[in-house]
Amino acid sequence: MVNVSPSRGASAPAFGPSELDGTPAAARAAFRRIAESREARDADRERGDGHEPHSEILANLRAPRNLAGVTRPGGPPGARSEGQVVKASPNKAIGGGPRQDPATDYTPFMGRRRFIIHIDIDAFFASVEVLLNPALRSRPVIVGGLPHERGVAATCSYEARKFGVHAGMSLRDAYKLCPHGAFIRGNYHVYQSFSERFFRILHEYSPDVEDASLDEAYLDLTRCRPIYPSFSRTAREVKARVERETGLKVSVGVGPNKIMAKLATKRAKPAGYFEIEPGREEEFLRDLPIDSLPGIGPKSQVILRMLNIQKIGDLWGLPRTTLHSLFGLCGDDIYLQSRGLDSRPVVTAAVPKSVSRETTFLQDLWDRRLLLAHLAYLCDRLTLGLRECRCYAHVIEVKARYSDFQTEVRRRLMIMPRQEMADIYKIAEEMFLQLIAGSRLSLRLVGVKASDLVRARPLSLFEPYSDKPERLGAAVDRVREKYGFGSVLTVREKMLDEVYPFERNRGFVLKTASLTR
């Protein structure tokens, strides 16, 4: 038997044991059989039977529950008119648009089913605070600042959520709803150390771990099939182990791709486990509210509700073209997401998209020197972040929010990516001064962001190569490690002495303390 790999074709045939006798006749026979099977495959392709040898099997698997394409009796998928709206009913195959995205073709619930775990720590910052101070247990905990301070709640415990408090709510509003709650400023470094412990455990189970945020990760176990006899058992074990070793409760969702796993986690919260079993995806999605999809924001929700679309199942009746005309490219996302289609891989050790640092002031600021001092300090923290992830930035962006809450942003693209504090501050300062030049308002917030990150600095054709900036950065880091963050500061940064308390290791404790990195 000749083993023909469809991807490699006849140019690299893999011979079975009978072909290993080495006689020319046997080799000729083997090549003839390969050629025949290739011809047969090409003929299949011309007839439109599919582009893979397995296409028939896959088509059969797709037929009964094809969410993306439409399998309709009496005509090929393309026979349906684009504008036609098919009402989704529980007993019928779901109609949508006849087109199917080739990139997402394989992710639906068939064939190569992946096993993705989404794991999320419940009320992360608040849970860490409770763990560190058991007296807070069963009290509403709000992390982000004290009630009289400006700023927003970064996280709140489930006890606080009962009072209507949620993350992103202003502290003042949170206090109105929950005056007896425990308000805590928080400490990013403590949370980070918990997060590191969390990810260390996850990396023991699979090499394919994606950190979605400090407290949220995707694990792809698909490649580990030979190691784990039961993925479900492994997923439960991961959950139990994280909870045992960090002391924090986590919610775990399991599905065939990232979006399904994430939706499963939403169902599992708090502290639960939910697995979408093969074949039950449609049932799971149908009754979920539309706002559970990440692609549907408040504005899209209003539009969809006007069309009397409340649940994900209701979305299946809308053709892709309609969604596209309503929401543009987001509409395509909604179309795919609502069918549980997601071909995004679990990305490991990715270059971060951006590094940013920003702070709200204790009170609105007008003094230009102090504003620049803040900017310099934020640039310093930002470049520290860049060095930590060994990245260089092509784009630098500064952000200013005025006392009337208007926000303005200015950004600059650089051909040569930068990492050095002096360079980045110079660019940021220039843009910042241009930004605030015409304004008569005082400022409420300032921020700086580095994006379009790359791992290496390209060589310049016109300047001799020097690793001086890198060595300078490394030297500053070494001194700070030994003598504390405050041991190396620019004169400009030193001006913040008058305003903020200083901690040896953390540096200045800015207003948004839990986010002071």
Task: Provide, rounded to whole angstroms, the least separation between the CB of residue 118 and Mg ion.
Answer: 11
Binding segment for Mg ion (CB under 5 A), chosen from 211-219, 273-281, 406-414, 420-428, is 211-219
The count of chain residues that interact with Mg ion, using the rule CB under 5 A, is 4
The residue (of 166 and 411) whose beta carbon lies closer to Mg ion is 166
The residue (of 153 and 446) whose beta carbon lies closer to Mg ion is 153
Task: Provide, rounded to whole angstroms, the least separation between the CB of residue 140 and Mg ion.
Answer: 17
Identify whether 216 is a catalytic site residue: yes
Residue 211 contacts Mg ion per CB under 5 A: no
Residue 429 CA to residue 434 CA, distance in Å, equals 9
The residue (of 116 and 428) whose beta carbon lies closer to Mg ion is 116
Q: How far does the chain reach from its first CA to its final CA, in angstroms?
A: 62
Binding segment for Mg ion (CB under 5 A), chosen from 88-96, 118-126, 203-211, 276-284, is 118-126
Binding segment for Mg ion (CB under 5 A), chosen from 123-131, 354-362, 366-374, 441-449, is 123-131
Task: Provide, rounded to whole angstroms, the least separation between the CB of residue 115 and Mg ion.
Answer: 22
275 φ, ψ to 5°?
A: -120, 130
What is each CA distance from 285 to 255, 261, 304, 442, 447, in whole angstroms? Answer: 12, 12, 17, 48, 39
Could you tell me which residues come within 8 angstroms of residue 362 by beta carbon, excluding any fewer than 6 positions away? 150, 499, 511
73 upstream amide cis, omega within 30 of 0: no
- Tell me the per-residue interface mask from 63 to 102 with Mg ion, x by CB under 5 A, - otherwise: ----------------------------------------
Pick from 129, 215, 281, 380: which binds Mg ion (CB under 5 A)? 215
Residue 149 contacts Mg ion per CB under 5 A: no
Residue 311 CA to residue 316 CA, distance in Å, equals 10
Task: Provide, rounded to whole angstroms, the least separation between the CB of residue 167 and Mg ion.
Answer: 9
Q: Which residues pair with 120 in a beta bridge?
A: 216, 251
The residue (of 121 and 169) whose beta carbon lies closer to Mg ion is 121
Binding segment for Mg ion (CB under 5 A), chosen from 94-102, 122-130, 357-365, 441-449, is 122-130
Task: Provide, rounded to whole angstroms, the least separation between the CB of residue 350 and Mg ion.
Answer: 20
The residue (of 86 and 201) whose beta carbon lies closer to Mg ion is 201
Residue 270 CA to residue 301 CA, distance in Å, equals 25
The residue (of 159 and 215) whose beta carbon lies closer to Mg ion is 215
Pick from 41, 70, 100, 120: which binds Mg ion (CB under 5 A)? 120
The residue (of 269 and 426) whose beta carbon lies closer to Mg ion is 269
- Asked whether 98 and 70 are in contact (CB, 8 A), the reply is yes
Residue in 407, 409, 412 with CA at minimum distance from that of residue 394: 412
Of the residues 19, 159, 210, 216, only one is catalytic, namely 216
> Which residue pairs from 127-136 have beta carbons closer than 8 angstroms and sit at least 24 positions apart in sequence?
127/157, 127/248, 127/249, 128/190, 128/191, 128/194, 128/248, 129/182, 129/184, 129/186, 130/157, 131/247, 131/248, 132/190, 136/182
Class of residue 130 by CB neighbours under 10 A (exposed 0-12, middle 13-18, buried 19+): buried
Task: Provide, rounded to whole angstroms, the least separation between the CB of residue 250 and Mg ion.
Answer: 8
3-state secondary structure of 143: strand
Residue 357 CA to residue 48 CA, distance in Å, equals 54
Binding segment for Mg ion (CB under 5 A), chosen from 66-74, 213-221, 240-248, 379-387, is 213-221
Task: Provide, rounded to whole angstroms, the least separation between the CB of residue 146 and Mg ion.
Answer: 23
Residues 98, 41, 2, 26, Cα dihedral to 10°: -170
User: How far is residue 146 CA from its own chain's centroid?
Assistant: 29
Residue 129 contacts Mg ion per CB under 5 A: no
* Positions marked active-site: 216
Residues in the site for Mg ion, rule: CB under 5 A? Answer: 120-121, 124, 215
